[in-house]
Amino acid sequence: MTVEQTKTENVKKVASLIGLVTSVKGDKTIHIRVDRLVKHPKYGKYVRRTSKLAVHDPANSAKLGDMVEIVACRRLSRTKSWRMTKIVIPAAVAQLQHDDQAPGMAPRPVEENKP
């Protein structure tokens, strides 16, 4: 085994998640919503579960509605144990993509009144 192989084997895999920014009221702190699908143990249907996490944003760069990537880190406060790494999708682009994917939300054509 070479030195390069031992270095790559010692690298830890860090848990990372992607979530939607729901609050930017704190200084260097954002709150995000992380959605995941979990299979129901009895019925087998996939159920959406949501977690709300406090995340450290040192540059205050995240805006409300952004999709951000976060990684686990050491505990920074009572509620913060996650750190933001990057903004995946800015808020304006995320809103446009959400509007395009909304099913059944197309406006109905206006019918004229017939006498």
57 burial (CB, 10 Å; 0-12 / 13-18 / 19+) is buried
Strand locations in 1-115, DSSP E? 16-26, 29-39, 46-56, 67-72, 80-89
Q: Which architecture, in CATH terms, is 14-100? A: Beta Barrel (2.40)
> How does pLDDT run across 37-90, given as a tens digit for each residue?
999 999 999 999 999 999 999 999 999 999 999 999 999 999 999 999 999 999
Q: CB pairs under 8 A, 24+ apart, for 34-42?
A: none
Residue scoring higher pLDDT (24 or 91): 24
- Domain range summary for the chain, segments of one domain joined by +: 14-100
pTM above 0.85, yes or no: no
| CA atoms of 7 and 27, how far apart (whole Å) | 37
CA 4 remoteness from chain centre? 34
